[in-house]
A and B are shown apart, each in its own frame.
Chain A
Amino acid sequence: MAHTKFRFVDFFKYFTLLIGVFVVLFPPYVVIVNAFKSTDEFNSSSSMALPKSFLNFDNFTAVFQRGGLLSGFGNVLVIIIITLTLNILFGTMVAYVLGRFSFKLKPVVFGAYLVATIIPSITTQVATFGIIKSMGLYNTLGAPIVLYIGADVIQIILYLQFIRNIPFDLDESAMVEGASLFKIYRSIIFPLLTPATATLVILKTISIYNDMYIPYLYMPKQSLGVVTTILMRFQGVNSGEWNLICAAILLILLPTVILYFFLQRYIFEGVTSGAVK
């Protein structure tokens, strides 16, 4: 009796998991098969049918030529590299100060970061827009960069956890040898935070790469398109040609999906250590 019940539970588990995987994979499957179909083939075949050949790259070349996707990848890469460099610097600096020193205003600083997460950032864009314009950053790559470089509370919490695990003895023995506090940050704390920084790089890269709103609002200029805004423009112009759009979707999904399969362990770690504690 207990035995059969156990089997049923197991069956149910696998069954629901397989449904879950099917639901996850169904939309990408549809996009993949249609991205390789010529317009004629697309019109005559079912949208779930496999393409005649997975070697028909015409749609992809068309996307690159018509959509300017290459410059989109270039722009987003520039944004990511500059943003992350500064963001890591600021994040570790704030975490070092909050993690190693006690001072009167410490709870205020941490509280300021905490409260900031409650403010829905989309709504403050009405006012942010004016600031960006008055700084002369509208329609430049500078706009997304200044908006992304600020440290956020999740990043600070992530770094703080790591700093707490770095024994204070290390700081003390460095002090005995006469190292300045800046030197301690630079040659002890910063290097020992590398694992946290690595996770952060992955997560931030994905979130900047996927962001639509900031580039859309602050960089409408044609030449400043990033992958998301280029995809939106491309869809607008070619709205009926789903085989082309599928190819564009696939090209844009590919980098993060590849990154994901290589780095999923670190991505899981980053997501959970940022959110749970």
Chain B
Amino acid sequence: MFGTLSYNKQKTIIIVSFLLIPLLLLATFTYYPAIKLVYYSFTNWDGYSPEKPWVGLDNYREVFSNPDIFKVFTHNFAYFVMGIVQNIVAIYFAVVLSSKLRGKNAFRIMLFLPYIMNGVAVAFMFGYVFDTTNGSLNLFLDNIGLHHLAQTSWLGTEGLVNYSLASTGFWRFMGYNMVIYIASLQAIPKDIYEAATIDGAGSFQTLWRITLPNMKPVIQLNLFLTVTGALEVFDLPFVLTKGGPAGASETYVQKVVDTAFAFNNYGLASAMSIILLFFVVIVLLVQQLVLNRGGDK
């Protein structure tokens, strides 16, 4: 019987048996595909034929030399800009909702609401809001007197479409960031604030000298998620615009997916994936570096 074994033996058996399946899952669906991806990136495999011809660095050369591929990153830029704004707004609301206020909880519940909504449904919802002729946004703008804005084709104008899409992401995720910021605010010891008040610090000084520095780790984490999130945008444009008009809202990941599944160019798609992964790691490293340097002061 298991129970009669010594605790040391039991420990070994438990460690091995409890970790076996979870680690196997992790290896099969995360690390094995990642390694496969590296291998595919050196071939020009089409996704189904049995042979995977080795082409060395050709795919990587293709990614860096084909302007069509790298250009799509400029579309991702809109998501980055909106992500930064989203964090600033989230910090603002978090600070406001942590101060003395009536109906604090009700506001918190309302502002977080979009986060739990189904992404595809949200995308279509905004498809309707942004619709040029039937859309409620233009109707609303017309009603409040902004007639010249009310003719805008939010999803059909090249320079605008990415910002329109990114604002949908803003709508959906601002509350999520806000709740995380609220939690980090609650973790700041109250006596620091009392001491500051006694020393005669104004509310702005308190915010700048106490609140924000104490929130730094969480802000860093959210910024990392913002940057990588901006690099990895996929579902919004995929559902809402299919990359249009004329490819203006195609994002990098969407291009990867298309390259693989629509154009059967798994090799190139894999190289593109590896490069994205590489960027994510760089963002993380740069951030760690900046963070650690900030901590030394």
Contacts and interface: CB of A to CB of B under 8 A. Distances in A.
Given A17-B107, A24-B114, A256-B117, A124 B124 contact: no
A246 interface: yes
Interface residues of B, number: 91
Contacts of B18: 93-94, 96-97, 185
Nearest to A17: B107
A22 B93 CA distance: 14
B9 to A, nearest CB: 10
B194 to A, nearest CB: 19
Interface string B259-279: 011000010011011001100
B63 interface: no
A44 interface: no
Contact of B112 (A30, A259, A268): A268
A127 B234 contact: no
A162 interface: no
Interface in B24-39: 25-26, 28-34, 36-37
B26 A113 contact: yes
A151 B228 CA distance: 21
Interface in A154-207: 175, 178-183, 185, 206
B140 interface: yes
B10 interface: yes
A64 interface: no
Contact of A24 (B37, B96, B171, B184): B171
B67 interface: no
B38 to A, nearest CB: 9
A260 B116 contact: yes
A253 to B, nearest CB: 5
Contact of B136 (A30, A129, A146): A30
B166 interface: no
A257 B171 contact: no
B49 interface: no
A228 B180 CA distance: 27
B128 interface: yes
A46 B139 contact: yes
Contact of B276 (A23, A123, A146): A123
A128 B33 contact: yes
The winner among A129, A212, A217, A252 for most chain B CB atoms within 10 A is A212
Interface string A27-41: 110110010000000
Majority secondary structure of chain B interface residues (helix, strand, loop or mixed) = helix
Nearest to A179: B3
The 7 closest A-B pairs by CB, nearest first: A123-B273, A127-B33, A272-B183, A180-B3, A127-B36, A150-B25, A124-B33
Given A180-B5, A276-B187, 6 more contacts: A24-B114, A93-B22, A97-B14, A116-B26, A126-B269, A182-B3
Interface of B: 2-3, 5, 7, 10-11, 14-15, 18-19, 21-23, 25-26, 28-34, 36-37, 40, 92-93, 96-97, 99, 101, 107-114, 116-122, 124-126, 128-129, 131, 134-136, 139-140, 143, 171, 175-176, 179-180, 182-184, 187, 203, 218, 221, 228, 231-232, 234-235, 239, 253, 256-257, 260-261, 266, 269-270, 272-273, 276-277, 280-281, 284
Interface of A: 9, 13-14, 16-17, 20-21, 23-28, 30-31, 34, 46-48, 90, 93-94, 96-97, 101, 103, 109, 112-113, 116, 118-131, 146-147, 149-151, 175, 178-183, 185, 206, 209-210, 212-213, 217, 227-228, 231-232, 235, 242, 245-246, 248-249, 252-253, 256-257, 259-261, 264, 267-268, 271-272, 275-276
23 contacts: A13-B101, A17-B96, A24-B111, A24-B113, A28-B125, A30-B125, A97-B14, A118-B277, A118-B281, A122-B232, A126-B40, A127-B33, A130-B36, A131-B29, A147-B29, A151-B26, A181-B7, A206-B116, A252-B121, A260-B116, A268-B179, A275-B180, A276-B184
